[in-house]
Amino acid sequence: MFPIGRLVKMLLAAGLAAAAFAAAVWMWTSSQPKEKTDFLSLKVKSANLSVDYNPEQVLEDVGRLGLNTVNVPVAVEISSVRSSDMALDEASLNKAVELIPRLQSRGLRIIVEPYPWIDRGSEAETDWNPDDAEAFFEHWRSRVLVPLARRVAEPYHADVMIAGSNLVHLERFSGEWSSMLQQLRREYSGLLTYKTNWWYTAEWDEAGTAAYEAKRDNPLWADTDFITVAAYFELAERPVNTARQLLSALSSTEVNGRGQDVVSEVMALSGKWGKPVYFGELGFPAREYAAKEPWNPSPSDVKDGAEQARLFQAYGKAFSGKPGFLGFSVFAVGEKSEDKHYYPSDDSAEAIRAW
């Protein structure tokens, strides 16, 4: 007669082995790169991390905002806005490599962004205008994008790489961008995008309208998988606005009487190229006058988290559900010290969760 105790032990062992096998299969499949179309079918709800992010705060913010994606920056050290020389910051890269698996284990998608850190963060990337454009493109490809793809984005199966962000003085070199994007595809199997900065138009502003049309028609978009916009549009001049006023301003901006139709112009990017459009930065300082100068961390000394929340609500109502709109990334989380004026207020967190 077969001993009952031995049978129980065998069954337990078999069960443990099956569980271990299932766990191994799950770990393997979850580590494999996901189909590109899978990400593009998402309603992306992301957040940009401050360059000096705290990993534990990142994990807390992911839950607080109900995110499904995180934009992880890797700092690129640049000495000045005229420099064409640059180098990946090794500490920032290593920090990203440690964080990404922790995020993926929670089911989060990953966007990797080379973040221009100019003069130790004292200069904005929008002011970067290298003296030698040819050297810039060679160095950006060989010292930034290719190493970032080989060391981070490809081995850690990031869903997206941003090839450049808000480089307004360099976007006109569309041929160089297209060539670089095509070369990057040989190193990286995920999705590629470029992030362009916000703009303004008005019937009476021929130069502004021409600049927008050049941005919309830029051939570099042909070599991206989707179009990314940093959405710091100037909407209204009042210190505080109702949600209805902000929603209306997205179709006809009030600042300087421009009457800019932000919604139509953003969606025209998608229509022109037949690709989704995505807000790769959507942020507002928790201050009065945030709707007038969302690009300014301190448009006022008066704190107002409710005004910040109403701006998130207005963008949500204006864009959510529109065909061709991929989603948004909140700027910025992962560090909430006193100088982080863009960190989402409690009211904003509620609005973001509701998107």
Cβ neighbours of residue 160 closer than 8 Å, sequence gap 6 or more: 39, 109, 110, 111, 112, 190, 191, 192, 193, 225
pLDDT of residue 45: 98
Cβ neighbours of residue 300 closer than 8 Å, sequence gap 6 or more: 239, 287, 288, 289
**Residue whose C-alpha is closest to residue 276's, from 327, 204, 338, 332:** 327
* Higher per-residue confidence, 352 vs 12: 352
Residue 16 pLDDT greater than 80, yes or no? no
Report strand pairing: 160-165 vs 109-118.
Answer: parallel
DSSP letter assigned to residue 287 = B
Residue 27 pLDDT greater than 80, yes or no? no
Residue 18 pLDDT greater than 90, yes or no? no
Indicate the pLDDT class of residue 286, thresholds 50, 70 and 90. very high
End-to-end CA distance of the chain: 64
pLDDT of residue 163: 99
Residues 143-170 have a mean pLDDT of 99
Q: Is residue 22 part of a domain?
A: no
Cβ neighbours of residue 342 closer than 8 Å, sequence gap 6 or more: 283, 284, 285, 286, 297, 331, 332
Residues 34-47 have a mean pLDDT of 87
CATH of the domain at 203: 3.20.20.80
Indicate the pLDDT class of residue 30, thresholds 50, 70 and 90. very low
The boundaries of the domain holding residue 190 are: 35-353
pLDDT tens figures, 177-196? 999 999 999 999 999 999 99
How far out from the chain centre does Cα 13 lie?
47
Q: Is residue 29 part of a domain?
A: no
Neighbours of 129 (CB within 10 A): 15
Residue 301 pLDDT greater than 70, yes or no? yes
Residue 37 pLDDT greater than 80, yes or no? no
CB 50, CB 27: distance < 8 Å: no
pLDDT of residue 28: 34
How far out from the chain centre does Cα 117 lie?
16
Q: Is residue 24 part of a domain?
A: no
Q: Is residue 28 part of a domain?
A: no
Residue type, 147: P
Indicate the pLDDT class of residue 103, thresholds 50, 70 and 90. very high
16-30, 203-217, 227-241: least confident range: 16-30
Residue tagged 């590109």 (tokens): 36
DSSP letter assigned to residue 161 = E
* Higher per-residue confidence, 4 vs 241: 241
pLDDT of residue 19: 38
pTM: 0.90
Residue 211 pLDDT greater than 50, yes or no? yes
CB 260, CB 316: distance < 8 Å: no
Residues 224-229 have a mean pLDDT of 99
Residues 237-241 have a mean pLDDT of 99
Residue 23 pLDDT greater than 50, yes or no? no
Indicate the pLDDT class of residue 20, thresholds 50, 70 and 90. very low
pLDDT of residue 34: 53
pLDDT tens figures, 158-175? 999 999 999 999 999 999
Q: Is residue 65 part of a domain?
A: yes
Q: Is residue 150 part of a domain?
A: yes
Residues 61-75 have a mean pLDDT of 99
Mean pLDDT of the chain: 92
Tokens representing 20? 């271990």
- What percent of the chain lies above the pLDDT cut of 70? 90
**Number of domains comprising the chain:** 1
Residue 347 DSSP SS3: helix
CB 173, CB 219: distance < 8 Å: no
| DSSP output for 127-159 | G---S-HHHHHHHIIIIIIHHHIIIIITTTT-S
Indicate the pLDDT class of residue 124, thresholds 50, 70 and 90. very high
Q: Is residue 20 part of a domain?
A: no
pLDDT of residue 35: 64
pLDDT tens figures, 104-119? 999 999 999 999 999 9
Spatial separation of the C-alpha atoms in residues 95 and 345, rounded to whole Å: 26
Q: Is residue 5 part of a domain?
A: no
